[in-house]
Amino acid sequence: MIRILLTGPPQCGKTTVVQKVVARFPGRATGFYTREVRRQGIRLGFEIITLAGATALLSHVDIPGPHRVGKYGVSLENFHRVALPALKVTPGVDLVVVDEVGKMECLSPRFVAAMERLWVTPVPLLITVAAKGGGYIAALKAKPDKIQLTVTPVNRDVRPSRILELLKT
């Protein structure tokens, strides 16, 4: 089964590539993507958006608590409530999308366990993964039997077509 990992530096276009693939994918996809939360041009955090349309705040500068990545507090409760159910493979699902496997998401052992379960399912995976990071980020990129593509501002417009071709095989 095909496993496609998209990597690249922040703001290179990984999420945009994923959204374009999902929009053109002929089958049924499940999963989630992340989107920046901005006010007056300043990034304040990130939200989770499932392919079914559910949303929740993943991180924000105003979230207090023990789970932090840089200046952002991370809401594992929101992540577990919204993102994890979107990763369940049910009959008729032709693609699972995970955007992204990064430091915030990897704060959740439940997410890492869900990713390991996904890796062995007979359904294609399209996963974005942080360019830098140890732990599960590095472990995921070290897995065999995957196609890892780097997204850059130069190639991000042609990546969706290439990914759709790979998913046909």
Each residue's pLDDT tens digit, 140-169: 999 999 999 999 999 999 999 999 999 997
pLDDT digits (tens, 9 = 90+) for 89-115: 999 999 999 999 999 999 999 999 999
pLDDT of residue 169: 74
Record: fold of 3-168: Rossmann fold (3.40.50)
> What distance in Å separates the CA atoms of residue 77 and residue 136, rounded to the nearest whole number?
20
Q: Strands of the chain (E only): list them.
A: 3-8, 29-39, 42-50, 55-60, 68-69, 72-74, 95-101, 125-130, 147-150
Could you give the dihedral angle defined by the CA atoms of residues 39, 85, 99 and 24, in that order, rounded to the nearest 10 degrees? -100
